[in-house]
Amino acid sequence: MKRNILCIGAGYVGGPTMAMIAQQCPDRKVTVVDINEARIRAWNSDSLPIYEPGLAEVVNACRGRNLFFSTDIGRGIAEADIIFVSVNTPTKTFGQGAGCAADLQYWEKTARLILQHATSDKIVVEKSTLPVRTADALSRILRSGDSAVHFEVLSNPEFLAEGTAIADLTHPDRVLIGGADTTTAHAAVAELVELYAAWVPRERILTANIWSSELTKLAANAMLAQRVSSINALSALCEATEANVAEVARAIGMDARIGPKFLRAGVGFGGSCFHKDILNLVYLCESYGLTEVANFWRQVVVINNYQQNRFVATMVRAMFNTVAEKRIALLGFAFKADTGDTRESPANRIARLLVDEHARVVISDPRALDNARTDLASLGDHVLFEPDPYVAVAGADAVAFLTDWREYRELDFPRLLRSMRRPAFLFDGRSFLDHDALFRLGFNVHAIGRTPLSHLDN
């Protein structure tokens, strides 16, 4: 008989991943549980709690058949054979390691719940990104009871990116499964390999020692974020030297050893993972006494914040050193296109910096406006929220693009320009628009990593 699957944590990771397993393995019962009742209600409704292209189709095909969403965590644990854990692991805001280390309290609580409700042997799979050696702590908690139940802890980090989750889950570059070097662990790893082999080619399923697996997730995110900070650092130099960062990125990306992806200069990386995981890595390095290594990775975050400060400084400088009382439309608040997620979004910091300068900020976004409202609640009526980009831009001195939404490329730019105050400024924070064409239309164009195109120069 195929064994039951449970996932604890119905978030951006748990929800889509389990929907994919349910779709690919119709003979498995997959249950997703969460402490958040509203979230579970949303998963059981027509309006899912997260926006992800293609997700609704997968959920609709499986929900009620072999995919279930519930708040009954205890029952879920009792009935499951394989338990994925994808509860959140935010950055600690208190005590030792505040601002850097991962807050593992939800993890520990979840482990104790598993121990409390388990009456048969379980494979417990770490899906959340965790500090290296968390599996060790988890195993110790699970062994602390007096029951005869055997728990085998595996690490199986998720590499999906938001906005492309369904494609990433359908055709993953690789699936990584880490386990201990024991007979029971080998059997558990083999069982998980079998599960994924239902749709992932075997050569893409890697097995590793459990510490390598845990570290790989942090390392992959750190390397990706590092590329973004590297090209962003170069973008500052391009602006100073009249080089064009897009041309530089294109040319270096054609070196097969470097590759073309993740070289787009912009206002910096956001999202729930990069920032948190790098700080986590920094904390780990420090706790092992590796100060130089910690400093190296910390710099990736320093450059990211610098890039946002620099973007706002450019706006203020271009607009005659004052934006006070000027209407500035920020188009895009999501941390990237094709998601409504605004966690750690560069737009958040940029909006706040502009409000500090007393600008009248208007925010528009096709998917993330509700989250933006929540994130910026503390700014009160210093910011306005407007779903229609044309209304947001009307009467503005400047429009700044902070998310590279496809629909923004297709805006009627002559119409936008006609509705703006003169001189009209356009700031491309994602290097994704046709700057020369916009300049010819009459905009004063400032794009990251290239010389400004200004009608105001003599």
Q: How far apart are CA 117 and CA 99, in angstroms?
A: 33
Rounded CA separation 50/163 (Å): 10
Q: Residue 34 in contact with residue 9, Cβ under 8 Å?
A: yes
> In angstroms, what CA-CA distances link 355 with 93, 350, 361, 406, 417?
25, 9, 7, 27, 23
β-pairing, 327-331 vs 398-401, is: parallel
Among 4, 106, 207, 355, binds ligand UDX (CB under 6 A): 106
For 77, how many CA atoms within 13 A lie in the half-sphere containing its CB?
22
Binding to ligand UDX by residue 87, rule CB under 6 A? yes
Here the tokens at position 306 are 């610098």
Q: Which is nearer to ligand UDX, 226 or 444 (CB)?
A: 226
Which of 31, 110, 134, 348: binder of ligand UDX (CB under 6 A)? 110
Number of residues that bind ligand UDX (CB under 6 A): 41
424 forms part of the interface with ligand UDX (CB under 6 A): no
Which residue of 18, 210, 228, 329 would you call a contact of ligand UDX, by CB under 6 A? 228
Candidates 2-10, 132-140, 387-395, 409-417 — which segment interacts with ligand UDX by CB under 6 A?
2-10
Question: In the annotation, is 285 catalytic?
Answer: no
Question: Is residue 88 within the footprint of ligand UDX (CB under 6 A)?
Answer: yes
Query: From its phi and psi, is residue 321 left (phi > 0), alpha (psi between -120 and 50) or beta?
Result: left
**What residues numbered 130-169 form the site for ligand UDX, per CB under 6 A?**
158-162
Footprint of ligand UDX on 333-372 (CB under 6 A) = 335-336
Residue 374 beta carbon to ligand UDX: minimum distance, rounded to whole angstroms: 14
Contact between 13 and ligand UDX (CB under 6 A)?
yes
Listed ranges 174-182, 251-259, 269-277, 421-429: which one lies at the site for ligand UDX (CB under 6 A): 269-277
Which lies closer to ligand UDX via its Cβ, residue 39 or residue 352? 39
Phi, psi of 150 (to 5 degrees): -100, 130
From 43, 196, 269, 443, residue interacting with ligand UDX (rule: CB under 6 A)? 269
Q: Which CA distances in Å does 208 have to 129, 140, 185, 211, 222?
A: 16, 21, 11, 8, 19
- For residues 265 and 304, is the Cβ–Cβ distance under 8 A? no
What amino acid occupies position 267? V
11 lies in the site for ligand UDX, by CB under 6 A: yes
In the complex, what is the shortest distance from the CB of residue 255 to ligand UDX, in angstroms, rounded to a whole number?
16
**Residue 262 burial class via C-beta count within 10 angstroms: exposed 0-12, middle 13-18, buried 19 and up:** middle
Catalytic residue among 25, 62, 273, 285: 273
Give the residue numbers annotated as catalytic, written as ranges.
Answer: 273
User: Which positions lie near ligand UDX, rule CB under 6 A?
Assistant: 8-14, 34-36, 39, 86-89, 106, 109-110, 127-129, 158-162, 221, 224, 228, 262-264, 266, 269-274, 335-336
